[in-house]
A and B are shown apart, each in its own frame.
Chain A
Amino acid sequence: SQKIEQNSEALNIQEGKTATLTCNYTNYSPAYLQWYRQDPGRGPVFLLLIRENEKEKRKERLKVTFDTTLKQSLFHITASQPADSATYLCALARNAGNMLTFGGGTRLMVKP
Chain B
Amino acid sequence: GAVVSQHPSWVICKSGTSVKIECRSLDFQATTMFWYRQFPKQSLMLMATSNEGSKATYEQGVEKDKFLINHASLTLSTLTVTSAHPEDSSFYICSARESPNSNQPQHFGDGTRLSIL
Which residues of A line the B interface, CB within 8 A?
Answer: 31-32, 34, 36, 41-46, 49, 51, 89, 93, 96-105
Contacts and interface: CB of A to CB of B under 8 A. Distances in A.
Ranked nearest first, the 5 interchain pairs of A and B with the lowest CB-CB distance are A43-B108, A46-B105, A98-B102, A104-B43, A102-B43
Contact of B44 (A31, A41, A46, A89): A89
Interface centre among B49, B97, B103 (most CB of A within 10 A): B103
Nearest to B93: A43
Given A41-B111, A44-B108, A98 B44 contact: no
Interface in B65-96: 91, 93, 95
Interface string B1-34: 0001010000000000000000000000000101
Interface residues of B, number: 25
Contacts of B103: 31-32, 49, 51, 93, 98
A46 B42 CA distance: 18
A61 to B, nearest CB: 19
B116 interface: no
B52 interface: no
Contacts of A100: 34, 46, 106
A104 B44 CA distance: 8
Given A43-B108, A100-B46, 6 more contacts: A43-B110, A46-B107, A51-B103, A96-B102, A97-B102, A99-B49
